[in-house]
Structure 1
Amino acid sequence: MSPSASSWTPRLAVVGIPANRRVGLFQDAVRAAGLPAARTVSWLEVLQGEAVFLPGETVRIDSPGEDTEVDRMLRGGDDPARVEGSALWYGRFTAAVREVGRAAAAAGAVLLDNPEDIAVLFDKRLCHGVLDAAGVPVPDSPTSGPVSGPGAEPVRGWADVRRLMAEHRMPRVFVKPAHGSSASGVMALETAGAGRIRATTSVERDEQGRLFNSLRVRRITTEREVATLVDALAPDGLHIERWLPKGSQRGRVADLRVVVVAGRATHAVVRTSRSPMTNLHLGGARGDLDEVRAAVAAAGGSWDAALAVCERAAACFPDTLCVGVDLLPATGWRRFAVGEVNAFGDLLPRLTGLPGSGAEGLDTYGAQVAAVLAAQAPRRPAAAHGHAVPPDKHAAHGHTASRHDHAAPSHNHMTSPQDNMTSPHDHAAPPHDHRPEGRAPESGPAGNDRARNDRVTHAP
């Protein structure tokens, strides 16, 4: 990837929050590539039906988070710290994204993000089902796939969660709001004999029974309180998945965020925590990537194969330029699974590209601009359903010849009651050959880690 402008100079636009750092970082990357500033289309304009796109524009869709008015229009409430309302938010947000696609198609603009991909990425149940069907290693889940599909398991409250845990022999699970982000509403749940239970979460209830996100992770040991929280979260939709034991670094549980641009893993950061949630705003900290590579090698594994798992996950969304993959290492650092794939998972300021990735010296935004430039030719306009229809899916995202230009490896989806991960030796991988700013949110559309009275304010 090269950050410099080519003989073909795209006209870029970004749908986002104009004053937000995400838009600012993207504009910095555009300027660094020697391009004219991207035209900004605000989410407020989109929601008010006033968004305009121009013929031939290349349009990036970014997060609608960290804007009070936009959040109010999407969620229908005035308190962005509230956990409830994520289903309404999801419905309105995905409708708005599809409207962006429709308007771009009508104008003859092209999109870097597929609206239908975004809709799947913001439903943990659908995303899990897509990954699982493609053979990407994921934690076992009784709620994977369409809510109304064949074999779909209803989750109407705590009684259903208890039943599914027992039926699927899952004594340790994560219970997640289907449309949440940044660990909003997430509960790490453990059960044992004689009715013993323990939950780890950042959700708190006020005197009126309303749920809020807090910066403080706490433990709950009474089933009554756990049941009350789950019952309050269930109307917005819940996803349940097995809690996989993860590798550790310096006594702290660890996982990775890997950014994949145009099909290539370009950036990776280690996240560590003393709690099951590694999000920075919940007490997580950056880990050491060199130590991770060394641990994988010492276990007889392959770092290249670990990155290939992330690329296989991203390949499930081939019409979306960039995704952030949450990679879960098993205890021992030899096997890996994908926890989530995030549509707006690229907010890792000052983190430069991995060696051999083609994005060396570039941040995540610079890598995306370089991928667009590397296409060297305009893409065809957005199709009626709202995403780009290129003659070649790799060319559409500026995908040049790379270490991973080959057919997806055959998969060996290993399943056991305790572990559903891939080993670096389960898949053939071709040979190939930091620290970001401290408060980058981990996932989700809003990526909003602002605290107000110890509450975290963000959209799902």
Structure 2
Amino acid sequence: MRLTVVGNPANRRVDLFTRAVLDAGLPRPAVLSWADVLAGAVPPAAGAVVRIDSPGEDAEVDRLLRRAAAPARHGELVGLADTYAGLLAGIDRVAAGGAELLNDPADVAALCDKRRCHARLTAAGVPVPAALPPVHGWEQLRSAMAVAGWSRVFVKPAHGSSAAGVIALAVAGRRVQAVTTIEATPDGLYNSLRPRRHTDEAEVAALVDRIAGEGLHVERWLPKAGLGDRVVDVRVVAVAGRPTHAVVRAARGPLTNLHLGNARGDLAELRATAGPAAWAAAMATCERVAACFPRTLQVGIDLMFLVGWRRHAVAEVNAFGDLLPGVLADGRDTYAEQVRALTDGRWERWRAAADRMPSVDGAARPDAAGREVSACEA
């Protein structure tokens, strides 16, 4: 097996996958840098098996993805739609040599566009929060929320990741409260690791209007279950269609991402609290999610149990969501699990099954009323 990794060579993702490959007794994978891909490097040839990793955490790669003259300032929220277009163009270049990709280009295109991802999950009957029809600014958002009868929503940049640019918004009449990772300065918007709380409507309206140009996806805010004094959700990694690894994310606010200073919760406690039936139902949903992206080796699924623990829903699905350092299942981390799937036949079986499936791309969006998709019950 001739493995190649497309990634940023100094990034720990590339290092962790390389270690897993070597530990399995396979030859060291070739590394093709994102910078070289975007500069026109020759793609991997037919016969190679290619893992495409995240292009993030590299300022020069970000500049090349956006085709910008200069790098963005550190943490600057700029050019998200351009970055998405650059990512897809880069993956097409990688695929042009005829290699076998472990990340299907059409799957990545859907996974990295929250609107398309939500539509694909909805079409497959996966429980997700209901979404509003497209909105392009604050007044349109308030109007759509009023029509839907919603008082709480998550406002998300369509092409954002890691909670960048997300606003958790609650309204009551003209009173508003927003929790967001956005830090607004006179010279731009920046992604902050310290979420901020805003109660001034004019400030919140200005934030929404400024990020709306990148495209928005707005979902109903469903009440998450909690453990102790924190709300929780679960990042689940599915490999070759099967959930294999999970980590609990526990927060005192609405944004649970671990890099925002939140805590890893106790998975055993969460499973015991939910109960065997609810956990099994949630894992069955994760299998359905993975089946929505049937030509991709792994996906990262953000799963939330709702208050009462009987229901659950899927908040996000991530193309590059397998970085769970120190999380082991049967002694293997997420990277070792993927290498094992490549060597024990699971990937071949998963891909063969996918080839017999009809295309799942191009699913219609939810109707204009933003109708609710009922969360699953155990």
Aligned residues: 362
C-alpha displacement of 1:301? 3.5
TM-score by length of 1: 0.76
CA pair 422-37 structure 1, distance change in 2 beyond 3 A: same
Q: Does 1:83 align with 2:77?
A: yes
> For residue 53 of structure 2, what is the aligned residue in structure 1?
62
Distance 1:178 1:264 in 2: 27
Q: What residue number does 1:374 align with? A: 344
Q: What is the TM-score with the length of structure 2 in the denominator?
A: 0.92
| Partner in structure 2 of residue 452 of structure 1 | none
- Equivalence map 1:309-388=2 (5 Å): 309-353=285-329, 360-375=330-345
- How far is 1:117 from its partner? 0.6
Kept in 2: contact 1:98–1:116 (CA 8 A): no
Kindly provide the amino acid, as one letter, of the partner of residue 335 in structure 2: Y
1:203 corresponds in structure 2 to: 182
Shift of 1:186: 0.2
SS state at 1:254 partner: strand
What amino acid is aligned across from residue 332 of structure 2 in structure 1?
L
Q: Which of 26, 33, 44 does residue 42 from structure 1 map onto?
A: 33
Q: Percent of aligned pairs with the same residue?
A: 53
2:213 is matched with 235
Q: Deviations over 1:165-197 (max 9, x none)?
A: 11111110000000000100000000113x111
2:365 aligned partner: none
SS at match of 2:377: coil
Runs of at least 5 residues in structure 2 that lack an aligned partner in the other structure? 357-369
SS of residue matched to 1:65 = coil
Q: Partner of 1:226 in structure 2?
A: 204
2:342–2:348 Cα contact (<8 Å) kept = no
Bigger helix fraction: 2
- CA distance in 2 between counterparts of 1:139 and 1:188 reads 14
* In 2: Cα distance, 1:201 partner to 1:271 partner: 17
In the TM superposition, residue 101 of structure 1 has moved relative to its aligned partner by: 1.5
The verdict on how the C-alpha distance between 1:295 and 1:53 changes in structure 2, with shifts beyond 3 A counting, is: same
1:421 paired with 2:375, answer: yes
CA RMSD of aligned residues (A): 2.1
Residue 109 of structure 2 corresponds to residue 119 of structure 1: yes
Higher strand share: 2
Separation of aligned partners in 2, 1:136 and 1:230: 28
Give the unaligned 5+ runs of structure 1: 1-9, 144-152, 354-359, 380-388, 396-415, 425-460
Residue 364 of structure 1: how far off its partner (Å): 0.2
Aligned pairs (5 A) from 1:21-32: 21-32=12-23
Partner SS for 1:320: coil
Report 1 or 2 for greater relative contact order, CA contacts < 8 Å, sequence distance ≥ 6.
Answer: 1
Which residue in the other structure is 1:286 paired with? 264
CA contact (8 A) 1:244 1:419 kept: no
